[in-house]
Amino acid sequence: MNTHQSPRALDLLFPTPLHIEEREGSYRLHHTTTIAASPPFETLADTAAQLLGCKRGGEDILFKHEPNLEDEEYRLTISKVQIVVAAATVRGAFHGLSAVRKLALLNDNILPACKVSDKPAFVWRGFMLDCVRHFFSVDFIIKLIDVASLFGMNRFHWHLTDDQGWRIPIDGWPRLKEVASKRTELQYLDGRTYGRMYTKEEIARVQQHAHSRQMLVIPEVETPGHVSALLAAYPEFGCSGGPYEVQDRWGIFDEVLCAGNDAVLDFFDDVIAQVAALFSDPYIHIGGDECPQAEWERCPKCQERMKKEGLSAERQLQSWLTSKISAMVHARGKRPIGWDEVLDGTEEMGLPQDLIVQSWQGVRGGIEASRRGHQVIMSPNTQGCYFDYRHLDSAEEMGNLGVSTLHQVASFTPIPADLDEDAKRMVLGAQGNLWTERVLSSRQAEYLLFPRLFLLAQQLWNPQGPEKNLAKLDLLERYCAHLDLSCYRGRSK
Ligand code: ACM
Ligand code: ZN
């Protein structure tokens, strides 16, 4: 029986688990609570002790290996005397720990007794942060990783190069740091600059934290468009030879990589090798979006390349470059991901078979790619996955370009209705993307991210649909208060 003093676990947990039974009583978490773990959960138990404010030792909280469960599945049993998390993998056990953390956070360390059996619907549950248009500190990135992983997210896509900056340290190319990592603030006349590179130590810190939260980090290196910062540093990689500027404006720029210059390929071979060494997870995002072809039409070197490779249209240069850069990624033992424009101009060359396509211009690219046998990440800007868009269509709201309502996110599913079964299996999951042209500070970023990120997390974990999700907005605001997150508090549809 419930009393007012003890809320139900079901009313506290978000994402709502797959199965939950409420039990009598509660467990009071205390600094004397002890934690034990059977292999392979010893390291996770250390993390748990730190996060819950408990100590290693006895079996008040027990992480138990249950090899028959699925990869990310967990069972959580909370009784008056013990908490048991059972899982087959550290990933699964981490999700069990997250449930314990959330109950403790919201209910003053008094955990309602319950039995939970839970696992996610989709394997790819991600968010992207653009750290180029505006720079975000590693402390903030770590805060976001912590929060997102608490809600079952498991992919951090780190957008690191673009027209307005280059933020990955690459040895042997000093002008990336000297020139490409900062831009002149054109609105000021005193020559002040904005931005910097992340250091290798900072990149290592982000990954270490992400991995401790069972989250993979996917660095993005943009090709062949959105490269003004790179061209400002190394103008020979552009068709005209420059001069170029690190952009202080937002948009799509005609200046792109020269597809006819072998030095461009040599540069990216080196970059991909170094990025593959800096980032230990299996994926590298190679961009591919919004690449105008006007310069390729005018450039003798690009025209020569087309002739030599038997390409009949400039748009095929994009797919030619995609195949070259993808091969570099493969050569370093990683898998490439590209925005859905990588499908353009592929009539003749096709796409490298294991290229993962990220569908952002609606779901069209995702549908086509999945039908062509490619794995797909959905982040349609038409269905709530663009968190840089306004929360609602009002000039009073911050945001850029479009609208992503809470209702849209709360209704979102990565699988378009008319996909056949084979194509459905190719959809790995989805991402929410935060571009930061108009996001100057981490507090603004939070306002755009929350509660949309939570709603997306639910839809990727255990889809509930808009009615049930939106009924939880008060709960999500409580989470934000406890986690020191700014959030949007509107209720209109
Ligand atoms: C994108 O939003 N240009 C991928
Ligand atoms: Zn060219």
Residue 172 has pLDDT above 50, yes or no: yes
Q: What's the pLDDT at 187?
A: 66
Residue 3 has pLDDT above 80, yes or no: no
**CB 339 less than 6 A from any atom of ligand 1:** yes
- pLDDT band of residue 5 (cuts 50, 70, 90) is low
Q: What's the pLDDT at 347?
A: 77
- Mean pLDDT for 281-310 is 97
Closest by CA to 296, choosing from 221, 220, 225, 352, is: 225
Lowest-pLDDT range, 3-7, 28-32, 221-225, 416-420? 3-7
- Mean pLDDT for 19-37 is 96
Q: Please provide the CATH number assigned to the domain covering 124-482.
A: 3.20.20.80
Structure tokens at 267: 């540069």
Q: What's the pLDDT at 468?
A: 97
**CB 289 less than 6 A from any atom of ligand 1:** yes
CA 97 to chain centre: 21
> Which pLDDT tens digit goes with each residue over 140-151?
999 999 999 999
- pLDDT band of residue 244 (cuts 50, 70, 90) is very high
* Residue whose CA lies nearest to ligand 1 atom number 2: 360
Q: Find the 50 Cα to ligand 2 centroid distance in Å.
A: 54
Residue 37 has pLDDT above 80, yes or no: yes
Q: Which residues contact 367 (CB under 8 A, 6 or more apart)?
A: 359, 416, 418, 419, 423
**CB 290 less than 6 A from any atom of ligand 1:** yes
With beta carbons less than 8 A apart as the criterion, state whether 191 and 131 touch.
Answer: no
**CB 387 less than 6 A from any atom of ligand 1:** no
- Name the percent of the chain lying above pLDDT 90: 94
> Which pLDDT tens digit goes with each residue over 316-338?
999 999 999 999 999 999 999 99
- pLDDT band of residue 189 (cuts 50, 70, 90) is low
In the numeric block, the tokens 């078979």 are attached to 353
> For the chain, what are the domain ranges?
9-118, 124-482
Let me know if 34 is exposed, middle or buried by CB neighbors in 10 A (0-12, 13-18, 19+). Answer: middle
> Which pLDDT tens digit goes with each residue over 453-479?
999 999 999 999 999 999 999 999 999
Residue 186 has pLDDT above 70, yes or no: no
State which amino acid sits at residue 480: C
Residue 192 has pLDDT above 90, yes or no: no
- Mean pLDDT for 248-272 is 97
In order of 301, 305, 340, 361, 485, the CA distances from 228 in angstroms are: 19, 22, 21, 22, 34
With beta carbons less than 8 A apart as the criterion, state whether 319 and 346 touch.
Answer: yes
Q: What's the pLDDT at 253?
A: 97
Q: Find the 261 Cα to ligand 2 centroid distance in Å.
A: 7
CA-CA distance, 446 to 481, in Å (whole number)? Answer: 12
- pLDDT band of residue 1 (cuts 50, 70, 90) is very low
Q: Find the 307 Cα to ligand 2 centroid distance in Å.
A: 13
Q: What's the pLDDT at 359?
A: 98
- pLDDT band of residue 491 (cuts 50, 70, 90) is confident
**CB 136 less than 6 A from any atom of ligand 1:** no
**CB 344 less than 6 A from any atom of ligand 1:** no
> Which pLDDT tens digit goes with each residue over 359-412?
999 999 999 999 999 999 999 999 999 999 999 999 999 999 899 999 999 999
**What CATH architecture is 9-118?**
2-Layer Sandwich (3.30)
Q: Find the 322 Cα to ligand 2 centroid distance in Å.
A: 15
Let me know if 108 is exposed, middle or buried by CB neighbors in 10 A (0-12, 13-18, 19+). Answer: exposed
Q: Which ligand is nearest to the CA of 337?
A: 1
Q: What's the pLDDT at 2?
A: 46
Q: What's the pLDDT at 418?
A: 86
Q: Find the 360 Cα to ligand 1 centroid distance in Å.
A: 6
- pLDDT band of residue 493 (cuts 50, 70, 90) is low
Q: Which residues surround ligand 2, an ion (CB under 5 A)?
A: 239, 258, 260, 299, 301-302
CA-CA distance, 291 to 163, in Å (whole number)? Answer: 12
* Residue whose CA lies nearest to ligand 1 atom number 4: 289
Query: What's the chain's average pLDDT?
Result: 96
DSSP symbols for 424-492: HTTEEEEEEEE--TT--SHHHHHHHHTTHHHHHHHHHHS---HHHHHTTHHHHHHHHHHTT--------
